Amino acid sequence: MSNIKVSIITIGDELLIGQTIDTNSAWIAQKLNALGIDVIRRVAVGDDKLAITSALDEELSKSAIVLITGGLGPTADDITKPLLCEYFGGKLVVDEIVLAHIVDIFTRRNRPFLDRNMKQAELPDNCTVLFNKMGTAPGMWFDKDGKIIIAMPGVPFEMMSIMEDEVLPRFEKQFISDALLHYSVITAGEGESFIAEKIQDIEESLPVHIKLAYLPGAGNVKLRLTGRGKDPLALSVELDKYQKQLAERLRNIVVALEDIPMEQVIAKILLEKNASIGFAESCTGGNLGHLITQIPGATDFFCGSIVSYREEIKKNVLGVKQETLDNNGVISEQTAIEMVQGAIRVLNCDYALSVTGLLGPASDDDEVEVGTVWMAVADKAGTIKTKKFRFYYDRLRNKEMAVQAAFRMIHKFLLGDL
Amino acid sequence: MSNIKVSIITIGDELLIGQTIDTNSAWIAQKLNALGIDVIRRVAVGDDKLAITSALDEELSKSAIVLITGGLGPTADDITKPLLCEYFGGKLVVDEIVLAHIVDIFTRRNRPFLDRNMKQAELPDNCTVLFNKMGTAPGMWFDKDGKIIIAMPGVPFEMMSIMEDEVLPRFEKQFISDALLHYSVITAGEGESFIAEKIQDIEESLPVHIKLAYLPGAGNVKLRLTGRGKDPLALSVELDKYQKQLAERLRNIVVALEDIPMEQVIAKILLEKNASIGFAESCTGGNLGHLITQIPGATDFFCGSIVSYREEIKKNVLGVKQETLDNNGVISEQTAIEMVQGAIRVLNCDYALSVTGLLGPASDDDEVEVGTVWMAVADKAGTIKTKKFRFYYDRLRNKEMAVQAAFRMIHKFLLGDL
């Protein structure tokens, strides 16, 4: 087991009243984890001197490294820097490199340079300054009694830049630890307990240095095998063996053997086939297109999406017949079919998926229950498969479920398994 | 000041390796905050008996209420229930109501009922069972030495349902506390320090029971005034006064006086005007449509979006001229203009916005720098305004910045201010 324990302290009232979701901690944890460094605790406290000091005391008693994010901005509600300076017995002095950098940022952006920006260049004289190329608040690295304390701004991309450029390379040099490897098996369509029952004997046969975790998501369950060991190669061979056992046992519901989102699984298959996809979206509002275009180079497999939210767009752009809408309703198998046919034609893509549904909260259609969604998936040759779904949650979660169901439906169709 | 202090403990290895982002804590904090109950700490620990016990000890020493989420699933990696049972000196017994509910869920979903599901109906005999209508793992409420400890599953919608139905109503009855009010001023287009300088005298004039916080986001800065007091009415009058002062001082950059996303600000204006909007998206991939359709009843103001990711869709669906693409390039003012004209025509909307850009990482166009985005906004009468943007971050953040810039551009256009 690794001996280096890390605590993350995030500072900010906005975290405690729920105005901001803490994405920094997860990002930091991922990065450290990849180095085999264990995050053992994450603590969030408010912009309060006593609370910050007490959190620092506590985490320093548990961990060798304490990472702090937040509380370094130029405004009055940020109190971390003077506090840390005092805590470690230093005094604030102007750092000329940081000052030049801040002046440069303001000059480039054509903004007036203010006294309070000057203050951002003042740093404790007993820390190593961690350069922040993305913003005005640098990070600070303190060594004290064999422990390391690092403070960084809370703005995610500034924190990430400091971590990548300054912190992680130092950690890599300073710490040698066991290899830590994660192998995943992503399943869809069955629940956690069904899977647990199916693989009980495999789970029980795992050696102590390999752990299995179940991570349920929107319509899927991720199984994560985590192994630790001195020899990365031997460990990977071992993990590979258990991953294969799990995948074989669960073959009907496995969708991927790496922890990537469903849209990336689909993108890979499309690239292998040298094929393209397009969407005719209604209730998902463009989220299918949005998610697939998060992938760099999406233009190689994605043509576009017709978000036909109103009926007239379904008719005018996708060619859904008025008769179909009148006789079958907007949320119907036949509408989904004509939408997907329209998408193939208009977007000139090899594959297409259409989705039309009522996500809630209120129904403006007496004949359709809230949560009802019809989808159709098709290829250029004219094969069409349809499916009706019913989701039981609120608008946002129903949308999320519909999007995941859509990606799974495409996945099965691409594999000839629908 | 409120006397009731709450700690939130989230349990799960997936939180410490960064596989899951903790959205539960923020949601819980918001709900408690609205009741005037202070979350003072949020702690995340792994699926480890010692770590959980130590976190419980510590948080019980600091807070009157400890809320725990996670670690209650049916699989072997969930250890919270037996631990809590032991911690509070109870024993596990089958709860017949919970058992009936679980059996019912499995029957409805046509799934086999397993031994390990039976175990989910076993609950400590010294807790109040909190019914979970959304899933199989109920919550548990323990009273001990004048403190309250509540454990809930980590699946967000199950936790939310238990909080709404079981926990919050009990809190409301049990605790009377000061009123706590938040008033917001949302600005866009200037940085935190510029704003701080502008409003310094107002900030310094705030009484001790009103705090001001700066919350920077993607291209905007939220100012949040938080007040506490015995008399909610007097407090709201007071906060209203300071909010007005801030809004007046910052009038050129204020976009809203409530903490709602920009798309909701736009939706309100469109509804007032009884007007509709549509999009012609390229690099944003459908995210504009996705975000605006998060709003219930979006069909009242949103027509649709043409996600014309490939050039041929821009030509075939939106009517962008081949000549324009050849002479000006895909990412150009003229392309944006023809896209927005196409959107107005094809979507038959009163207003439209088009966006075409290169978000990164690599450039497939030698003539355009990564991060360059052109947008055009138009109305049905033919007024068109265009704007060129340059974003300097990575693909995902550039997309986020482009989306926020698009909403701000629409907002200004709707107000006749562009």
The reply to whether B192 and B168 lie within a common domain is no
* pLDDT at B253 > cutoff 80: yes
Q: How confident is the model at residue B5 (pLDDT cuts 50, 70, 90)?
A: very high
Chain-centre distance of CA B272, in angstroms?
Answer: 25
Residues of chain B above pLDDT 70, percent? 96
pTM for this model (two decimals): 0.80
| Domain end among A198, A223, A256 | A256
pLDDT of A1 reads: 41
Are A78 and A72 in contact by the 8 Å Cβ rule? The answer is yes
* pLDDT at B1 > cutoff 50: no
How much is the average pLDDT of B276-288? 98
The reply to whether A230 and A330 lie within a common domain is no
* Option in B13, B22, B313 nearest A22 (CB): B22
Quick one: tokens of A135? Answer: 């913003």
CA gap B181, B34 in Å, rounded: 8
B95 to chain A nearest CA, in Å? 19
Q: Do A226 and B17 touch (CB under 8 A)?
A: yes
pLDDT of B78 reads: 64
CA gap A328, A44 in Å, rounded: 53
B311 to chain A nearest CA, in Å? 9
- CATH classification of the domain holding A270: 3.90.950.20
Q: Which domain holds residue A214?
A: 179-256
Q: How does pLDDT run across A77-129, given as a tens digit for each residue? A: 568 888 999 999 999 999 998 898 888 888 877 777 777 778 888 899 999 99
Q: Do B44 and A23 touch (CB under 8 A)?
A: no
Q: Which residue stretches of chain A have pLDDT < 50?
A: 1
Q: Which of A389, A391, A380 is nearest to A413 (CA)?
A: A380
Interface test with A, best of B117, B204, B211, B293 (most A CBs within 10 A): B293
Q: Which of B306, B266, B262 is nearest to B413 (CA)?
A: B266
The reply to whether A225 and A277 lie within a common domain is no
The reply to whether A161 and A18 lie within a common domain is yes
Residue-wise burial string across B103-123, b where 16 or more C-beta atoms lie within 10 A, e elsewhere: eebbeeeeeeebebbeebbbb
Taking CA atoms, B332 is separated from A56, B327, B371, in Å, by 52, 10, 13
Domain count, chain A: 3
The reply to whether B130 and B273 lie within a common domain is no
Q: Do B307 and A308 touch (CB under 8 A)?
A: no
pLDDT of A77 reads: 55
Taking CA atoms, A396 is separated from A79, A241, A285, A393, B253, in Å, by 37, 39, 11, 8, 30
Give the number of other Cβ atoms within 10 Å of residue B382's Cβ. 8
- CATH classification of the domain holding A227: 3.30.70.2860
The reply to whether A29 and A114 lie within a common domain is yes
- Which residue of chain A is at minimal alpha-carbon distance from B30? A18
CA gap A41, A5 in Å, rounded: 9
Q: Which residues pair with B43 in a beta bridge?
A: A43, B9
Q: How confident is the model at residue B363 (pLDDT cuts 50, 70, 90)?
A: low
pLDDT of A74 reads: 62
pLDDT of A365 reads: 57
Q: How confident is the model at residue B31 (pLDDT cuts 50, 70, 90)?
A: confident
pLDDT of B74 reads: 62
The reply to whether A398 and A291 lie within a common domain is yes
- What single string gives the DSSP state of each residue in B209-250? TEEEEEEE-SSEEEEEEEEEES-HHHHHHHHHHHHHHHHHHT
| Domain end among B134, B159, B174 | B174
* Option in A76, A117, A193 nearest B117 (CB): A193
Q: Do B22 and A27 touch (CB under 8 A)?
A: no
The reply to whether A394 and A361 lie within a common domain is yes
State chain A's mean pLDDT as an integer.
90
Q: Which of A57, A278, A73, A190 is nearest to B308 (CA)?
A: A278
The reply to whether A349 and A381 lie within a common domain is yes
The reply to whether B169 and B41 lie within a common domain is yes
pLDDT of B159 reads: 94
| Weakest-pLDDT range from A94-98, B104-108, B298-302 | B104-108
Residue with tokens 């509380």: A71
What are the backbone dihedrals phi and psi of residue A313, each rounded to the nearest 5 degrees, phi first?
-70, -40
Q: Do A194 and B112 touch (CB under 8 A)?
A: yes
The reply to whether B24 and B116 lie within a common domain is yes
How much is the average pLDDT of B339-367? 90
Q: How confident is the model at residue B77 (pLDDT cuts 50, 70, 90)?
A: low
* Option in B33, B116, B286 nearest A17 (CB): B33
Q: Which of A49, A153, A68, A47 is nearest to B212 (CA)?
A: A47
- CATH classification of the domain holding A138: 3.40.980.10
| Domain end among A148, A174, A200 | A174
* pLDDT at B23 > cutoff 90: no
End-to-end CA distance of chain A: 44
Residue A180 is inside which H or E element, if any? strand A179-188
Q: What is the largest CA-CA distance in chain B?
A: 79
The reply to whether A266 and A400 lie within a common domain is yes
Q: Do B224 and A196 touch (CB under 8 A)?
A: no
Q: Which residues of chain A have a CB within 8 Å of the CB of B23?
A: 21
Q: How does pLDDT run across B201-218, given as a tens digit for each residue? A: 999 999 999 989 888 777
